[in-house]
Structure 1
Amino acid sequence: MFARRLALVENLLAAVPFAVVAVVAFVNVLSRYFFNASLAFTSELTVNLAVWMVMMGAVIGLREGAHLGFSALYDHVPGVVRGVLTVVITLTVLAFLAVLLLFGLEMALQQAERGRATPSIGVPQWVFTIALPIGALLGVYRAVQAGVSGFQASTVEQSPSEEAER
């Protein structure tokens, strides 16, 4: 039940910014075409919401197993090596996410302390920057989840070359 609700939250955190960007970009195109005027805030909003979309897309990729299988190498090695690769890849992803979590949180806190706001729309900048640590936290959960299931699968399954030897 928790996994389904978390997946729904992750999907919403990716889909809502995407929908806002699509609507804002469409309105900007209409504004340029009919009024010969561009809406200045659209590029600012689009760039800042892209941070949310990228982070949530990476989390969804981890959840769906899109990151942890370098299949050209991974699919052609025996189960033991596959298990080692799974651990190494998972630890590498976790190290990257830990750095992203620490620096993203530090940056968001500094922006909040200084009262930084976006130039055109005046939204506090930390609202967009907080996507980094939130995405990193969700990514840690999903990376561990994918790593454990990948490791378990590597100890149970045999690679195609092992099956051919039998």
Structure 2
Amino acid sequence: MSAYFFMLNNLEDVLNIFKSIIGRNDFEGADTRSFLYQELFADFKGYEFILGRGFLGTYFSDYFLMLMQNLDDTGDFYQRFGIEVGFLQLILKGGFVFYFLYTLPLWYVAIQGIFWHSEMKIPFYIGIYVLVELLLMFFENIPYFSFQFSILFLFAGFAYRIMYINTQNKKIVIRKEIVILA
């Protein structure tokens, strides 16, 4: 988790290193998201990391204040209600408690489906899909009531059911083998 934070906090440097490694000058390495991490975490007090600021909570943005002072109308208000990064949106509204409550079932299905139930296609593919969606939340992907997140939780529940039924069937087979051997 901290590796993600350090990478995103210094994303412009990481993109410049990547740009110099691949040797392309037309590659756009401009960072458009890491300043959001800096602004949100600078505006938070210690206890707010745990429970956030509530669903009507806002944060102060230096960047959008600068845009307003320069009479640039491309941004919105500097006291921001939402944030463009899904991870930060969950932290702003409910802190790390809300983030873990929201994503723990998804992380569980993704890890179980990829590593422990990879012999079955459906949980494996759904696990990969869920993992990609969870990792995209560190860059964008704001969670809201939409078709995308409805499908995400529906697929996760479906994969969990398949994994649970498979585990129960294995237990029944093992019990039958024990009874036959006895």
TM-score by length of 2: 0.29
TM-score by length of 1: 0.31
